[in-house]
Amino acid sequence: MKDIVLIANGDLRESANMVCWPAQKAMEDRLMEVVAAKGRTITRGHPVKPQGHGFIGSQREGMDVFAGIDPDAPLIVAEAVWQYSHHVLAGLYHHRGPILTLANWSGQWPGLVGMLNLNGSLTKAGVPYSTIWSENFDDPYFERALDEWLETGKVTHETDHVTPCPDLNLPEADVAIVSSIVQSMLREKVIMGVFDEGCMGMHNAIIPDELLLPMGVFKERLSQSALYYAAMQVPEAEARAVYEWYLAKGFRFHLGENHEEDLTEAQVLDQCRMYIAAVRMADEFGCEAIGIQYQQGLKDLMPASDLVEGTLNNSDRPDVAGPNGVIRKGEPIPHFNEVDECAGLDGLLINRLHKALGQPVENTLHDLRWGGPDESGSTDEYVWVFLISGAVPPAHNEGGWAGSDSFRQPPMFFPNGGGTLHGVAKPGEIIWSRIFVEGGALHMDIGRGQAISLPEEETRRRLEATTPQWPIMHAVLTGVTRDQMMARHKANHIQLAYATSAAEADRAMMARAALAKELGINVSFCGVKPV
């Protein structure tokens, strides 16, 4: 190999790049030590900037950086933070040398989340890459992988937990349910409302229309400016009625007076306005599911949309009146966080199928933020930290609405604040899944697991090691190790739904696999065997 070039991709928000740089710098220093001990040299492909961080901060900057990099050089994309994949996708797409994506195994910042998003984006774009992760860059798994990459330019991982979906032998009643859903989608069609595509540079989160049309799914491309306008037309009395509904449910808002640092009542009322506007726009355009970008654009105009999103995904939510009465009373309006259309498609399939099966319809995506042993010793299982960036349906939380809290979103991400929908996921049987694009086709990985309870001090430790304002799930995945999950998963997000028992969860998993397959999606079971 030639000398290795290292790049560090970052956030579009300069405030986040500044706050997160020390963690990135520490990781890079450690990595350079390890590689130097193997007789190799790493050179940064771009300098640390005068403002005090060394991240690529825009697509144009990424293109300019790659213009100065030898296209045949071995390249490491090292990530300890969230990154906008489109900053570097152009350069990586045309790079000829071996590419290694690498992250530190830490929950402090979403580095693992950022690396998985880049992996999913490269997979969709058809760019060959290898990937690895480590806590201290000295464990045997990392050492073996790094040595292999240095020698061959590739890293191989064990993925024998993956089984392509065969023809399934479902009960006759479930065959009828799957057939009915497919025929309904093809006959009546489905609209996904997309409030501006491409949130946070997530190339992997955009499904080409041509892959949706054969299954009867179409996009209604909506503008966040229209949502902002509609929200501003909502009278304060309507917004306050929603706010009072939350309070009556026992939902706790942690309010203060300083707009720059605290969650204020005015911010919450604007979130209530956005909720009402979003429901009415979904109704107006006939959208079965909607996705709000919120991380860019709206963040400079309004509080974050997290409270809106979690509320939309819940059956028990405030009534919103439309021209023909209350809109979808007692039903969720599936929302896909960060306009992740892969999650949106999965979410609307779950909603239809679970309703037909009599199972909980509430579902949400989470970030694969981090994971590790339970330091309290209450379980020997490997416990993942699934941590969505702001909101879950409260039906997923211990205590529902009354067990949930709203904290101000961190100022480095959201200058106009806004409340999260925080809680700790209740224990229960879960089905996890992910739809992704590879080779010009849609794929779905699906598996099983449990959300478990951990002692309060262990939950607090995990929250404080991540972003404590955000909702958390303690998840144990069936038949999938940490490294198998990381090696296979093609996204920063994982979709989660509950079932009322292990048997019902197995049934729902099998039926959803059959539904996806019938719609033309390539399905694989992960950690479980099809029956």
CATH of the domain at 503: 3.20.14.10
- In total, how many domains does the chain have? 2
Residues paired with 497 in a beta bridge: 363, 431
Q: Tell me what the pLDDT averaged over the chain comes to.
A: 97
Buried b (16+ CB within 10 A) or exposed e, 328-340: beeebbbbbbbbb
Residue with the two structure tokens 């106009």: 416
- Using 50, 70 and 90 to split pLDDT, how confident is the model at 278? very high
Kindly state whether residue 394 falls inside one of the protein's structural domains: yes
Asked if 94 and 220 sit in the same domain, the reply is: no
Q: Is the pLDDT of residue 183 over 70?
A: yes
- Distance between CA atoms of 223 and 396, rounded to whole angstroms? 30
Structure tokens at 313: 């995904």
- How much of the chain exceeds pLDDT 70, in percent? 100
- Using 50, 70 and 90 to split pLDDT, how confident is the model at 298? confident
pLDDT in tens, 230-254: 999 999 999 999 999 999 999 999 9
- Distance between CA atoms of 305 and 336, rounded to whole angstroms? 12
CA 87 to each of CA 93, 94, 327, 369, 424: distance values in angstroms, whole numbers, following the listed order:
11, 14, 40, 21, 34
Q: Are 406 and 421 in contact (CB under 8 A)?
A: yes
Kindly state whether residue 165 falls inside one of the protein's structural domains: no
Q: Are 483 and 155 in contact (CB under 8 A)?
A: no
Structure tokens at 185: 């989608």
Q: Are 410 and 258 in contact (CB under 8 A)?
A: no
Domain extent at residue 112: 3-152
Kindly state whether residue 395 falls inside one of the protein's structural domains: yes
Q: Are 385 and 466 in contact (CB under 8 A)?
A: yes
Kindly state whether residue 272 falls inside one of the protein's structural domains: yes
Q: What are phi and psi of 150, to 5 degrees?
A: -60, -30
Asked if 502 and 425 sit in the same domain, the reply is: yes
pLDDT in tens, 3-58: 999 999 999 999 999 999 999 999 999 999 999 999 999 999 999 999 999 999 99
**Residue 408 confidence (pLDDT):** 97
Q: Are 508 and 431 in contact (CB under 8 A)?
A: yes
Asked if 399 and 358 sit in the same domain, the reply is: yes
Average pLDDT over residues 262-279: 98
Kindly state whether residue 493 falls inside one of the protein's structural domains: yes
